[in-house]
Chain A
Amino acid sequence: ETGVTQTPRHLVMGMTNKKSLKCEQHLGHNAMYWYKQSAKKPLELMFVYNFKEQTENNSVPSRFSPECPNSSHLFLHLHTLQPEDSALYLCASSLRTSGETDTQYFGPGTRLTVL
C-alpha cells in the first residue's frame, strides 16, 4: 500500500467528453505530481504542485487542466482529448520538491482510453 490513491482506475471517454481524474495522498506530503506513462516510453512529467502552488507545467496541451485545492488532493480535468492521449496517468507525491532529492510515491494510475 503506497498511501496514494487514484480514481477511477479505468476510464473510457469520447473526444467530446469532459472527465476528471482524482488523486489523494495520505502521507502528509507537500508536493504532488501528474505523469503520463505510454508503452515503452519514459514517464513524462506533466505538472508539479508544491504546497498547492503549481511549480511546473511541461508544455502540456490546454486540454489537460490540473487543480490542487490542498496538499492532499490533486485533480486532472480532461476535455476534448485526442486518441493519442490514451495512456496510464500516474499521480505521485513527495515530501517537498525544491533543492533536495526526494523519493516520490506513486498511485496505481488511471488507465485512460480515448475513442
Chain B
Amino acid sequence: GQNIDQPTEMTATEGAIVQINCTYQTSGFNGLFWYQQHAGEAPTFLSYNVLDGLEEKGRFSSFLSRSKGYSYLLLKELQMKDSASYLCAVVDSNYQLIWGAGTKLIIKP
C-alpha cells in the first residue's frame, strides 16, 4: 500500500526554527508537495520538490531525498502566524496525489 507519515503535532517557540518531517512509501514518485492550512481555511501551496536537495523560499525551505523516501519542511524565525497544519503530499506513478494526515504546528510566545 501507499503511505505518508508525518508527526501529528509539534510545538515550537516564536523566533526559533522547526523541522517537520515526512516519510513516504509510494508506487513511483513524481514529486512532493507541502501545503499550509490554517484552521478553517484552504490549504495553500508552499513548495514542490522533484529533485534531491534543498529548495529555499524566504523563511521556509523544503528538502527531498528520493533514495530515503524522505522530505522535511524547515521553518525559520517562527512567527505566531505560522501556527497551522502542514500537509505533505506525494505524486505517485499514476500522477495521483497521496496525502499525509498533516502536522499541526503550535507556536508559543
Residue of A99, A101, A103 contacting most chain B CB atoms (<10 Å): A101
Asked if B42 and A100 make an inter-chain contact with CB atoms under 8 angstroms apart, the answer reads no
Asked if A40 and B44 make an inter-chain contact with CB atoms under 8 angstroms apart, the answer reads no
Q: Pick the contact of A101: B31, B45, B101 (CB < 8 A).
A: B31
Per-position binary interface string of chain A over residues 32-74, scored 1 when its CB falls under 8 Å from any chain B CB and 0 otherwise: 0000000011110100000000000000000000000000000
- Among B54-109, those with CB < 8 Å from A are 87, 89, 91, 95-102
Knowing A40-B101, A42-B4, A43-B87 are in contact, say whether A100-B43 is a contact too (CB < 8 A): no
Interface residues on B, range: 20 to 34
Asked if B100 and A42 make an inter-chain contact with CB atoms under 8 angstroms apart, the answer reads yes
Asked if A98 and B40 make an inter-chain contact with CB atoms under 8 angstroms apart, the answer reads no
Count A-side interface residues using an 8 Å CB cutoff: 22
Min CB gap B57→A, angstroms: 14
Which residue from chain B places its CB closest to the CB of A103 in the assembled complex? B45
Contacts of A42 in B (CB 8 A): 4, 98-102
Knowing A101-B31, A101-B95 are in contact, say whether A106-B42 is a contact too (CB < 8 A): yes
Asked if A97 and B95 make an inter-chain contact with CB atoms under 8 angstroms apart, the answer reads yes
Asked if B42 and A109 make an inter-chain contact with CB atoms under 8 angstroms apart, the answer reads yes
Asked if B4 and A108 make an inter-chain contact with CB atoms under 8 angstroms apart, the answer reads no
Residues on B close to A: CB < 8 A? 4, 8, 30-31, 33, 35, 40-45, 48, 50, 87, 89, 91, 95-102
List 6 tightest A-B contacts by C-beta distance, closest first: A42-B99, A106-B42, A43-B99, A101-B31, A108-B42, A106-B43
